[in-house]
Structure 1
């Protein structure tokens, strides 16, 4: 959700300033092979319209003039419309939609709310001047997995390398990599976030530039950008992507930038991104963001994605209180079952105890380490990242590992069940009953598929 980082190796003030300034400049847009998404008018409402399988997109446009189509899925029985604030909502139940067989009960309206990398003061906050600028001995990727992290012990200080190995040990990662030498190959993980550093040496070569899109900048180059003042949530998406690839080094990241440098963006962009992720062949969607308000539109999109075999992983929130952010909170409402394929992930420390900032719930799926996780940070640097934002992508990476085995049963429901069944039981006596089935055990999980 938010990001808290600790310096691995400090830059001089001059070097830091030059590096940050360089990364704040956008690269030239690349050409996407997919159609450019529509630029939506924000500040209005979103309509979830229940339609029949025979309804055409042209007919829907004609029936709801003045709206924009966010997603059109008659095969799944729905379409999503962006309704400008200047358009009277009552017009959506007019004769046009009625002619398509849609009555007033077939239209659900909601505010185009803002989602965010949650700004709870109890966790995560981004500092500048972090990371390593020297990549000794050609350390360029997480290739070959945890057993050979591109010579990691040569470009980190000893204490940082020890911290990384402690992290791997807690989630049983090295055993997982021995069992699954594919290391996530052939599996695309959509990171719907602030964008990523497209040139980071630990990410380069593992990015889907065909499906990538920047909904903030309106082009096919979802490069993270510095805000005008401060660093805000700069580096969030890069750090999330780094965790995914640390778990599944051969997976492919599909970066979809929906959040501005302050870590905020309208729901309509997130809906577009989920739709694009599925259309681009993503098999895992990582949502390290959330809201305190439910969304019928997002629920419809997630349900449709799961029906197509996609696992959706959501961080639980950083308020330290009971309950989770939406959409994960819907695991408590019954809109999604515990083994539906939507996962709500909390955070634990390196001893397996609940992170002080992590939310908790009896309906939580499981937890993963989310404190001081070493991962990638813009400008070819590294950072320690803390928050449930960085617990979720560990689970996304684990799912990618399992999917790369090509096992017979990779249905989202089966994957969700196996993640929970193989989790290491929690040792936290206070929160044990409200932190899911335990801590992610990647080795035990993938053993179900090998």
Structure 2
């Protein structure tokens, strides 16, 4: 596992004040300052932004009624007043694409060699660009259903047929069932290929986009596929689009080409997504340690009815990456691990008592930069499968907590699958079953 709101005039003013107070603010998001530390102030009260910056010797990044985040230098961190309301933590390159011994691997169409993160071999299957987006495009019917299945095959990307049948997506996407309409999923990642034809008509208004790395409004997935973690965010967005093709995607860039990002960027992106209409936030990224700024941002999202889905991590060890490790017992949030096509825990997937759900995460195909198609493996791929599932649930009227509960409680138990017995009690409720979840929600 690689994120940026009457009868008397007095009554009107008070209403407006209350509305603004309930929203967060990301202060003129700029490029990541790569400051040494991030400082989280709980309950900042009535202090102005300038007063906070002066008091804590830092630069305000984002602020809500319940917390404020500032970046500070090492010297500034030493000067910060000691208080239980103030937490100073490392900022620079704390977050990363969920990488470990297995890391996120990729296989891409096109000419040339492709670097694979991990020990797998490179399989470049074709020369030149491969464009499946013309004849395989989504056909949205007039009644709001989506026709992407033909003769038992997923026509948009046939390579994913077995992946999607594993979670019963073929049943969910039957005519007149569920497509994810009227929902928005924020992809907080390396950015998204904004020009890929796979996303035509799928993005939110560009006024909701932001690049927290470069400090602009173009969260493009930069670099060359096969170099660094380029394509990671595009893949995550593409997976959500396959599961919930009628959902809108909000691209937010918080990770660089190397797949790492700062705490300040991730926290600000979560607040930004919440204030700009996201219903679901996908975090295919993680940290080795809990971070107050990000935990507070997620709590803020939850307080506005936004679900957050986090990848478990790819080190193959017990215990999850953060923030996913904190999601157990949080009804709007889901931690996600990976299974193989046979429902066995993926060798790279982290596990533990805090894990809540499993989803396919091996060789999942999706759009890649330069109008290409790529296959990735990792819990970073499992998380957007579930994020898309939450969007499906919310599209039929479920709240974030209701949709999350439906996915978790209807999962297929996989404890008896060969190889899984060693992880009893540490694989969550099982492998995602989208059809069962939608049925439990009355659809």
What TM-score do the two structures reach when normalised by structure 2?
Answer: 0.81
* In 1, Cα distance between equivalents of 2:437 and 2:236: 21
* In 2, Cα distance between equivalents of 1:448 and 1:396: 18
Deviation at residue 147 of structure 1 after TM alignment: 4.3
SS of residue matched to 1:210? helix
Aligned residue in 2 for 1:106: 85
SS of residue matched to 2:99? coil
Aligned residue in 1 for 2:408: 420
User: CA 1:448–1:73 in structure 2 vs 1: closer, same or farther (change >3 Å)?
Assistant: same
Which of 347, 357, 363 aligns to 1:356? It is 347
* In 2, Cα distance between equivalents of 1:213 and 1:404: 25
Aligned residue in 2 for 1:446: 438
Deviation at residue 79 of structure 1 after TM alignment: 1.2
1:43-89 Cα offsets, whole Å, 9 max, x none, are 3211111225544434434433x411122112xx22111112342x2
Map 1:229-308 to 2 at 5 A: 231-308=227-304
User: CA 1:35–1:298 in structure 2 vs 1: closer, same or farther (change >3 Å)?
Assistant: closer
Map 1:39-118 to 2 at 5 A: 39-51=31-43, 53-64=45-56, 66-74=57-65, 77-87=66-76, 89-93=77-81, 104-114=83-93, 115-118=95-98
* In 2, Cα distance between equivalents of 1:206 and 1:92: 44
User: CA 1:249–1:57 in structure 2 vs 1: closer, same or farther (change >3 Å)?
Assistant: same
Deviation at residue 385 of structure 1 after TM alignment: 1.6
CA root-mean-square deviation: 2.7
* In 2, Cα distance between equivalents of 1:136 and 1:176: 22
Deviation at residue 416 of structure 1 after TM alignment: 2.7
Aligned residue in 2 for 1:148: 148
User: CA 1:180–1:304 in structure 2 vs 1: closer, same or farther (change >3 Å)?
Assistant: farther
1:376 paired to 2:356: no
1:92-114 Cα offsets, whole Å, 9 max, x none, are 21xxxxxxxxx722111111142
1:300-336 Cα offsets, whole Å, 9 max, x none, are 11111111111110100111111110111224xxxxx
What TM-score do the two structures reach when normalised by structure 1?
Answer: 0.80
Asked if the contact 2:271–2:300 (Cα under 8 Å) also holds between the matched residues in 1, the reply is no
Asked if the contact 2:337–2:382 (Cα under 8 Å) also holds between the matched residues in 1, the reply is yes
| Larger CA deviation: 235-244 vs 50-59 | 50-59
SS of residue matched to 1:202? helix
Asked if the contact 1:179–1:446 (Cα under 8 Å) also holds between the matched residues in 2, the reply is no
Deviation at residue 221 of structure 1 after TM alignment: 1.1
Asked if the contact 2:316–2:351 (Cα under 8 Å) also holds between the matched residues in 1, the reply is yes
* In 1, Cα distance between equivalents of 2:181 and 2:137: 18
User: CA 1:180–1:417 in structure 2 vs 1: closer, same or farther (change >3 Å)?
Assistant: farther
SS of residue matched to 2:343? coil
Deviation at residue 36 of structure 1 after TM alignment: 4.3
1:318 paired to 2:306: no
SS of residue matched to 1:319? coil
Aligned residue in 2 for 1:10: none
Map 1:180-259 to 2 at 5 A: 181=177, 183-208=179-204, 209-226=206-223, 231-259=227-255
| Larger CA deviation: 121-130 vs 390-399 | 121-130
Q: Which residues of structure 2 form unaligned runs of 5+?
A: 3-25, 111-123
Asked if the contact 1:339–1:414 (Cα under 8 Å) also holds between the matched residues in 2, the reply is no
* In 2, Cα distance between equivalents of 1:36 and 1:182: 38
Aligned residue in 2 for 1:6: none
Q: Which residues of structure 1 form unaligned runs of 5+?
A: 3-33, 94-102, 332-336
Count of aligned pairs? 393
1:120-176 Cα offsets, whole Å, 9 max, x none, are 2324334553575234754334756774259997988xxx72x42211211011222
* In 2, Cα distance between equivalents of 1:363 and 1:321: 13
| Larger CA deviation: 391-400 vs 426-435 | 426-435
Deviation at residue 397 of structure 1 after TM alignment: 0.2
Asked if the contact 1:142–1:150 (Cα under 8 Å) also holds between the matched residues in 2, the reply is no
1:249-273 Cα offsets, whole Å, 9 max, x none, are 0111111111111111111111111
Deviation at residue 41 of structure 1 after TM alignment: 2.4
